[in-house]
């Protein structure tokens, strides 16, 4: 069984991006810039934004963090986004979610210029992805990171049955559309399942590539997996653990111990899909910089 190491792959990718950013700097005299807007004081969001800003600095991306109080009116947030849309030093904009309940997340997403939407949440970007126009859009970072892992580990996808468990706008829907594309790194037959799917094990047992993003600790057990399948675990669930200093540990949606006995390759949690997400945000920001400066690039 091959353990698909997202931690190592994310380090490789960040090192490649660092070199690429230096080439960009020499060619243009500028560096990519990512703006992150944080509204309110959600502790998890604060940690996420801090980690994203730290990664920017490590690889040479300019990070602009804009913190706004919890009671910020929606119009004020939209004004800030409009300013960032026009700022030539900013190539990527993300508004960290969740937002306070009086602010509409969809309205906020619509306000971001799609050509700076490095989260890939704007309907324009999702629409381009649906049409297979990857050269013309941004793909949501978690599914994009999974595609990168499958490619870098040489996982054969053409003609394979890919089953995606989860139908969220951020992971399940873009993931299914990525794997459905006419492309050597995709060309899958795709089935999308979710929490209300009847006879879910029937579908998961028919997967050559099983991608699970359902948010339920240890939900997929070995009897639900076809021998030899490639299993990708997007889960990030905290469970109580009295032996851990923090009182909890993080586990995936897949029962790693039992499934690792039947799968041919799988991602661990932690250290699988998670570390790839920030790395792909950096990749999208560099991609945006190159598009805005008409530079060649992957």
Residues with catalytic annotation?
Answer: 52, 96, 119
Pairing of strands 248-251, 237-240: antiparallel
Residue 94 or 193: the one with the smaller Cβ distance to ligand GUN is: 94
Q: Minimal distance in Å, beta carbon 227 to ligand GUN?
A: 34
Residue least distant from ligand GUN (Cβ): 97
Residue 230 or 278: the one with the smaller Cβ distance to ligand GUN is: 278
Q: Minimal distance in Å, beta carbon 103 to ligand GUN?
A: 13
DSSP 100: P
Judged by CB under 6 A, does residue 10 bind ligand GUN? Answer: no
Q: Where are the alpha helices (H) located in the chain, listed in sequence order? A: 6-28, 43-59, 74-86, 105-111, 123-130, 141-152, 172-180, 200-204, 256-259, 273-292
Residues binding ligand GUN: what is the number (CB under 6 A)? 6
- What is the per-residue binding string for ligand GUN in 95-124, x denoting contact by CB under 6 A? xxx---------------------x-----
Between helix 43-59 and helix 273-292 the angle, nearest 10°, is 60
State whether the Cα torsion 82-83-84-87 is positive or negative: positive
- What is the per-residue binding string for ligand GUN in 184-223, x denoting contact by CB under 6 A? ----------------------------------------
Q: Where are the alpha helices (H) located in 153-272, listed in sequence order? A: 172-180, 200-204, 256-259
- What is the per-residue binding string for ligand GUN in 126-165, x denoting contact by CB under 6 A? ---------------x------------------------
- What is the per-residue binding string for ligand GUN in 61-100, x denoting contact by CB under 6 A? ---------------------------------xxxx---
Residue 122 or 160: the one with the smaller Cβ distance to ligand GUN is: 122
Pairing of strands 230-233, 209-212: parallel
Pairing of strands 230-233, 265-266: parallel
Q: Minimal distance in Å, beta carbon 141 to ligand GUN?
A: 6
Pairing of strands 161-165, 189-193: parallel
Q: Where are the alpha helices (H) located in 71-139, listed in sequence order? A: 74-86, 105-111, 123-130
Residue 1 or 47: the one with the smaller Cβ distance to ligand GUN is: 47
Residue 230 or 279: the one with the smaller Cβ distance to ligand GUN is: 279
Whether residue 251 contacts residue 237, with contact meaning beta carbons closer than 8 Å, is answered with yes
Q: Name the residues that contact ligand GUN, by CB under 6 A.
A: 94-97, 119, 141
């Amino acid at each position: 069984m091959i353990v698909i190491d997202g931690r190592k792959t994310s380090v490789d990718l960040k090192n490649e991006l660092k070199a690429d950013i230096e080439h960009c700097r020499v060619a243009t005299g500028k560096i990519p810039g990512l703006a992150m807007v944080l509204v309110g004081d959600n502790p998890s969001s604060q940690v996420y934004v801090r980690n994203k800003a730290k990664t920017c600095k490590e690889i040479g991306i300019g990070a602009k963090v804009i913190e706004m109080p919890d009671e910020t009116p929606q119009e004020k947030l939209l004004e800030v986004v409009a300013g960032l849309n026009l700022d030539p030093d900013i190539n990527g904009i993300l508004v960290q979610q969740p937002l306070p309940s009086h602010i509409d997340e969809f309205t906020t997403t619509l306000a971001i210029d799609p050509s700076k939407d490095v989260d890939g949440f704007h309907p324009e970007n999702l629409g381009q992805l649906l049409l297979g126009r990857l050269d013309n859009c941004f793909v949501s970072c978690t599914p994009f990171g999974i595609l990168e892992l499958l490619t870098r580990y040489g996982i054969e996808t053409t003609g394979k049955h890919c089953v995606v468990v989860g139908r969220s706008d951020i992971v399940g829907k873009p993931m299914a559309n990525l794997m459905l594309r006419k492309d050597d790194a995709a060309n899958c037959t795709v089935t999308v399942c979710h929490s209300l799917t009847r006879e879910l094990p029937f579908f998961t047992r028919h997967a050559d590539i099983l991608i699970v993003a359902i948010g339920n600790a240890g939900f997929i057990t070995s009897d639900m997996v076809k021998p030899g399948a490639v299993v990708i675990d997007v889960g990030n669930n905290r469970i109580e653990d009295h032996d851990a200093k923090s009182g909890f540990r993080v586990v995936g949606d897949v029962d790693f111990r039992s499934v690792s006995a039947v799968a041919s390759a799988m991602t661990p949690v932690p250290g699988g899909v998670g570390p790839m997400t920030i790395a792909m945000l950096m990749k999208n920001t560099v991609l945006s910089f190159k598009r805005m400066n008409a530079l060649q690039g992957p």
